[in-house]
Amino acid sequence: MVKSGHLRRLIGLAAFLVLVFAALGVRLVVVQVLSHDKYRRIAEVNTQRVFLREPRRGDILDTGGNPLATSVPVKKVFADPSLIGPYAEQVAKVLAPLLEYDPVDLALLLLPTLKTNEAGHVFTNQYVNLQRKISLEQWQQVTQAMAELNLGMGEQQIPRNQKAFYRNLRRGAIGAADTQLRQYPANTLAAHVIGFTAENEEWFNGYSVTEMSGRDGVERWMDAKLAGARGWRITETDNRRREIVVYREQEVEPRPGLDVVLTIDSVIQDIIETELAEVMKQHRPISAEAMVLRPRTGEVLALGQLPNYDPNQPGKAPADHLRNRIIADMVEPGSTFKIVVVSAALNEHLVTLADTFDCERGAWHFMGRVLHDAHGGYGMLTVENIIAKSSNIGSAKIAVYKLGEQRLYDYMRAFGLGMRTGVTLPGEVNGLVWPVPKWDKLMISRIPMGHAVAVTHIQMAMAMCAIANNGRLMRPMLISRLQDSTGKVFARYQPQEVRQAIGPDAAQKLVTALKTVPTKDGTAPKAALDHYTVAGKTGTANKVINGQYAPDKYISSFIGFFPADEPELCISVMLDEPHEGYYGGQIAAPVFKRIAEQVASYMKLRPDREPSDAVVSAPATERLGTASVRD
């Protein structure tokens, strides 16, 4: 018989075991059923990884399909110092030449350091971004160098656990992620149109993720279309963070960005930048700008300025060189503005080209101030000759005695002055056109010669294009279409008319007057072409600095189009503070001529005149002038 004492102990042990198994059962129910989701999430955090996959950024192409911006695959190299241990110096010595590092600096980056997380746990840093984009060939050299790394010891006799350390050092201490490098094959060509990109580094799931974004130009304006969409991979990893492929749950391919095809023609762009470089050498202006446009559609075939910069290395250029002056700088337009005054009066049937005005021999007293004409002044001039001679007094009298303040203001706005043109580039400004209630008594006589109003270069060029386009103001067009890498078109952009600034009849009459400017009797005989009739207007404006007109500092310009009666191209040239001459007809007009001749030949434009029709002799008025000049 079992003694009672033993029996009690057996019963107690059995009861204890029952309680233990019951507790385990309850715990299993809690873990497996009631807290299933909680522990599943913990397990996923420990083993499941989400890898983001960067899409290829789309290209920017010129109108002929030539790449102006493209992306090439490269590797972003990083290191895990926890796997390097005490061998940072040896690794740095091998990799420094391949990664273009100083060996000492690289060794410091590779040294393991202790860090503390939010929970207070101390750990060794496992990620150092070496911040180098290297080619696939260079990455192969890096992996080969690591595989052959000599640590200066016999590894055959060391324990197995130490062999595993050396194996992990060679295979996993230096890693790489797929990324891309933005390249601009044409270097500085059309830099202010294309813009540039920058990279933002984000941390996701313990990994560094690089995001490329546009910072200026088309790169910024079309960033969402160029960027594409990220892909991702959801998978499981082992304790060394290596993927277990059989447990891969999701894999979504990234969607590449679309290619943006511009209206820019690289050949024409190169022509204008070459000519701007020549005038920069010859006349040493602060800056030189030029545009080539199609008046009927508003297409921008070329847009450039000097100084410029290399989008491959924008950080090496002064900040002032990055600014797109053509859309961001406001200047007084000078006498190019006279096209607005005269066309408005013609459109309102207030004058004809044959009407005459007394130009007072170069000095007109108005509201207690004297308004001067350049070139010694004139007597009686027709409206047509007011344009040809660029008379300040004549244009002012048209505004004062014919148009009046409100109508002058209305036509300035009709031509798009004082408002953005809508060009697809960031940074465009409105310009400055004061509403009539803010005008003083002199402004009605000063605005007609380009005083007391500030415009951008592109605004004035589009206003001239409107004259060439039977009075229709167009929105400047830089982007032709969006397509994928196979050439499939996703969107095609069409020319956009903004408004009818003046009627076709008034526009044609003004064209007749503008054709007299590049003749021996006008202010720009140096703009005349041998095979094409040119219509255009000169401008020479005193610069305003700190609210005052600066002596001997001028903006020189010429805007013209040809063939005058069936315009194909409009070319605008502007120089800021040229030396050794400053009249628009003297400095800017020859640049127009050289650009026009080359572009017309390249585009095979049909001539509308014989060479014998051209008149190239310069009038004596070009050699005269005063400090208050407005040609």
pLDDT one-digit tens code per residue, 242-260: 555 555 667 778 899 999 9
248 & 279 share domain: no
User: Is the model's pLDDT at 629 over the cut of 50?
Assistant: no
pLDDT one-digit tens code per residue, 28-83: 777 677 666 665 655 555 556 666 788 999 999 999 999 999 999 999 898 988 88
pLDDT at residue 628 in the model = 41
pLDDT one-digit tens code per residue, 271-312: 999 999 999 999 999 999 999 999 999 999 999 999 999 999
For residue 19, give the H/E element and its range. Answer: helix 4-29
| Residues in a beta bridge with 260 | 60, 482
Domain presence at residue 12: no
Give alpha helix (H) positions in 367-490: 383-389, 392-398, 405-414, 443-446, 457-468
CA distance 588 to 574: 7
Q: What is the mean pLDDT of residues 607-619?
A: 60
Domain presence at residue 40: no
449 & 596 share domain: yes
Q: What is the mean pLDDT of residues 215-225?
A: 97
Which residue in 291, 324, 290, 334 sits closest to 553, CA to CA? 334
Domain extent for 240:
49-89+128-262
Comparison of pLDDT for 605 and 111, the residue scoring more: 605
Sign of CA dihedral 585, 588, 594, 595: negative
Q: In whole numbers, what is the pLDDT of the chain averaged over residues?
A: 88
Q: How distant, in Å, are the alpha carbons of 74, 83, 103, 149, 605 from that of 96? A: 18, 18, 5, 13, 57
pLDDT at residue 552 in the model = 87
Which CATH number characterizes residue 581's domain? 3.40.710.10
User: Is the model's pLDDT at 617 over the cut of 60?
Assistant: no
User: Is the model's pLDDT at 201 over the cut of 80?
Assistant: no
User: Is the model's pLDDT at 205 over the cut of 70?
Assistant: no
Domain presence at residue 108: no
Domain presence at residue 252: yes
CA distance 432 to 436: 12
Which residue in 130, 174, 170 sits closest to 149, CA to CA? 170
How open is the CA angle 565-571-576, to the nearest 5 degrees? Answer: 140
544 & 397 share domain: yes
Burial of 90 (0-12, 13-18, 19+ CB in 10 A): middle
pLDDT at residue 71 in the model = 96
Ordered strands of the 569-576 beta sheet = 300-306, 287-293, 569-576, 548-562, 535-545
DSSP annotation string for 23-34 = HHHHHHHIIIII
DSSP 3-state of 41: helix
406 & 497 share domain: yes
pLDDT one-digit tens code per residue, 153-185: 665 667 776 778 888 888 888 988 888 999 999
Give alpha helix (H) positions in 100-183: 103-110, 136-147, 160-172
476 & 606 share domain: yes
Sign of CA dihedral 446, 447, 452, 454: negative
Q: Which residue has the tokens 């700190």?
A: 546
| Residues in a beta bridge with 180 | 73
Lowest mean pLDDT among 117-131, 358-372, 455-469, 494-508: 117-131
CA distance 102 to 95: 10
Domain presence at residue 570: yes
Q: Which of 246, 262, 278 is the last residue of a domain?
A: 262
180: its two tokens = 């891309």
* Strands 114-116 and 122-124, bridge-based pairing: antiparallel
DSSP letter (8 states) at residue 214:
E
CA distance 31 to 575: 78
Domain presence at residue 83: yes
463 & 511 share domain: yes
208 & 339 share domain: no
CA distance 623 to 525: 13
* Strands 363-366 and 369-372, bridge-based pairing: antiparallel
Task: Look at the chain and report how many structural domains it folds into.
Answer: 2
247 & 272 share domain: no
pLDDT at residue 28 in the model = 76
184 & 294 share domain: no
504 & 488 share domain: yes
As a three-state string, the secondary structure of 535-572 is EEEEEEEEEEECCEEEEEEEEEEEEEEECCCCCCEEEE
Sign of CA dihedral 484, 490, 495, 499: negative
pLDDT one-digit tens code per residue, 393-448: 999 999 999 999 999 999 999 999 999 999 999 999 999 999 999 999 999 999 99
Q: Which of 262, 283, 303 is the last residue of a domain?
A: 262
pLDDT more than 70, % of the chain: 86
The model's pTM is: 0.85
Domain presence at residue 503: yes
pLDDT at residue 616 in the model = 42
Give alpha helix (H) positions in 173-265: 191-194, 217-221, 223-227
CA distance 337 to 451: 9
How open is the CA angle 457-439-445, to the nearest 5 degrees? Answer: 70
Lowest mean pLDDT among 158-167, 369-378, 509-518, 529-538: 158-167
User: Is the model's pLDDT at 619 over the cut of 60?
Assistant: no
Q: Which of 262, 283, 305 is the last residue of a domain?
A: 262
**What number of residues does the chain have?**
631
User: Is the model's pLDDT at 374 over the cut of 70?
Assistant: yes
pLDDT at residue 349 in the model = 98
Domain presence at residue 367: yes
465 & 605 share domain: yes
pLDDT at residue 43 in the model = 54
567 & 615 share domain: yes
User: Is the model's pLDDT at 124 over the cut of 60?
Assistant: yes
Segments of 319-471 assigned E as strands: 356-358, 363-366, 369-372, 380-382
| Backbone phi and psi for residue 390, each to the nearest 5 degrees, phi listed first | 60, 55
How open is the CA angle 424-554-407, to the nearest 5 degrees? Answer: 65
Which CATH number characterizes residue 166's domain? 3.90.1310.10
pLDDT at residue 327 in the model = 98
Comparison of pLDDT for 331 and 46, the residue scoring more: 331
CA distance 447 to 381: 20
